[in-house]
């Protein structure tokens, strides 16, 4: 029996609790995200993070290091990546989401790829793609949660994605560009087209496949606020077809729990959903119900992840 990997979780300060949840969902290994408070940027941050991992899960825990515009930080990041097997890759926020990590300026984003290329980095850069100039924050109204879908349109995702592909090509970046939580057909089409000449992968979350933005119109709609937002039903159906066609490389939950009261009753509810709770039902029942074979599920939850990250498990 192969082990299942969730390559995108936000454990924050409670890694042990996430592993307990993962066990109930049939997940063995997790890749943790760096947009903590403070973010994970340095060797000291990595060591502090690793000290929180339960001893029995030391071989099952991996983490991303955040990227900034500071060239010294990028140099240290490559050194850390080469030194610690638990550092699985780098994360670039090409748009503001949750936390302080974000590189908004496109020239600064390109500079990051250039510096990492010059340093000989050949690992993964995972990118949150939402281009700031295409966001429409004026449309966001907490009293009408579905407005979140319109405030962060899918064009913001595809335009940022196009930027990243261009930067990889222009700098000759030799590593893998991974686009996290794709939410629309346009993104998958650009990724598919780019596969002919660069190393590129993409993941999709259970929530972007199971639900559409009508969830935001329910009485507890704020619980379903996330970045990128839930899309329309036609967008979801498109993603399902992409998944069935093998155009999406893996499942990643983007597990991001927040206190219930904070989601429903704050003046600016945070984005994120605890999607690791969905994993067992999603993989065991939902995916087979839409025609995904067991062989495909193995690729989506293990094989493709191991291949991209060079894991022999």
pLDDT at 98 > cutoff 80: no
Q: How far is CA 79 from CA 68, 82, 103, 157, 296, in A?
A: 15, 5, 21, 31, 36
Q: Is the peptide bond before 228 cis (omega within 30 degrees of 0)?
A: yes
CB burial of residue 13 (10 Å; 0-12, 13-18, 19+): exposed
User: What number does CATH give the domain 5-309?
Assistant: 3.20.20.140
Residues 13, 51, 15: CA angle, nearest 5 degrees: 35
Span 59-70, average pLDDT = 98
| Across 25-39, 88-102, 112-126, least confident range | 88-102
pLDDT at 174 > cutoff 90: yes
Q: Is pTM beyond 0.95 here?
A: yes
How many other CB atoms sit within 10 Å of the CB of residue 1? 3
Q: How far is CA 198 from CA 17, 190, 192, in A?
A: 37, 12, 10
- Tens-place pLDDT, residues 119-166: 999 999 999 999 999 999 999 999 999 999 999 999 999 999 999 999
- Return the axis-axis angle of helices 185-194 and 154-171, rounded to nearest 10°: 10
pLDDT at 253 > cutoff 90: yes
Percentage of residues of the chain with pLDDT beyond 70: 99
What pLDDT is attached to residue 196? Answer: 96
Residues 204, 149, 104: CA angle, nearest 5 degrees: 75
pLDDT at 189 > cutoff 80: yes
pLDDT at 1 > cutoff 90: no
What pLDDT is attached to residue 206? Answer: 98
- Tens-place pLDDT, residues 257-313: 998 899 998 888 999 999 999 999 999 999 999 999 999 999 999 999 999 999 998
| Domain parsing of the chain, residue ranges | 5-309
What pLDDT is attached to residue 310? Answer: 97
29 near 3, Cβ under 8 Å?
yes
Interstrand relation of 176-179 and 5-9 (parallel, antiparallel or unpaired):
unpaired
**Secondary element (H or E) of residue 124:** strand 124-129
268 near 142, Cβ under 8 Å?
yes
- Kindly state the greatest CA–CA separation across the chain: 51
What pLDDT is attached to residue 99? Answer: 66
């Amino acid at each position: 029996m192969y082990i299942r990997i969730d390559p995108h979780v936000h454990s924050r300060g409670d890694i042990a609790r996430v592993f307990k949840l993962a066990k109930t969902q049939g997940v063995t290994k997790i890749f943790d995200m760096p947009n903590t408070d403070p973010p994970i940027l340095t060797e000291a941050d990595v060591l502090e993070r690793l000290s929180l991992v339960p001893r029995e899960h030391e071989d099952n825990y991996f983490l991303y290091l955040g990227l900034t515009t500071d060239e010294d930080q990028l140099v240290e990041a490559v050194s850390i990546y080469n030194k610690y097997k638990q550092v699985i890759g780098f994360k670039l926020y090409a748009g503001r989401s949750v936390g302080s990590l974000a590189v908004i300026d496109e020239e600064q984003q390109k500079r990051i790829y250039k510096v990492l290329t010059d340093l000989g980095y050949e690992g993964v850069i995972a990118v949150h793609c939402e281009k700031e100039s295409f966001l429409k924050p004026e449309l966001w109204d907490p009293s009408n949660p579905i407005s979140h879908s319109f405030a962060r349109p899918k064009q913001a995702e595809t335009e940022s994605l196009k930027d990243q592909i261009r930067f990889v090509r222009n700098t000759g970046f030799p590593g893998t560009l991974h686009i996290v939580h794709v939410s629309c057909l346009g993104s998958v089409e650009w990724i598919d087209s780019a596969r002919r000449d660069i190393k590129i992968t993409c993941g999709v979350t259970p929530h972007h496949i199971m639900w559409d933005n009508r969830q935001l119109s329910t009485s507890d709609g704020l619980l379903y606020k996330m970045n990128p937002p839930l899309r329309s039903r036609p967008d979801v159906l498109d993603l399902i077809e992409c998944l069935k066609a093998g155009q999406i490389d893996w499942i990643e939950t983007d597990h991001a729990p927040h206190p219930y009261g904070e989601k429903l009753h704050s003046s600016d509810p945070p984005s994120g959903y605890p999607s690791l709770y969905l994993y067992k039902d999603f993989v065991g029942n939902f995916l087979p119900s839409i025609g995904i074979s067991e062989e495909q599920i193995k690729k989506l939850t293990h094989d493709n992840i191991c291949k991209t990250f060079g894991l022999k498990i």
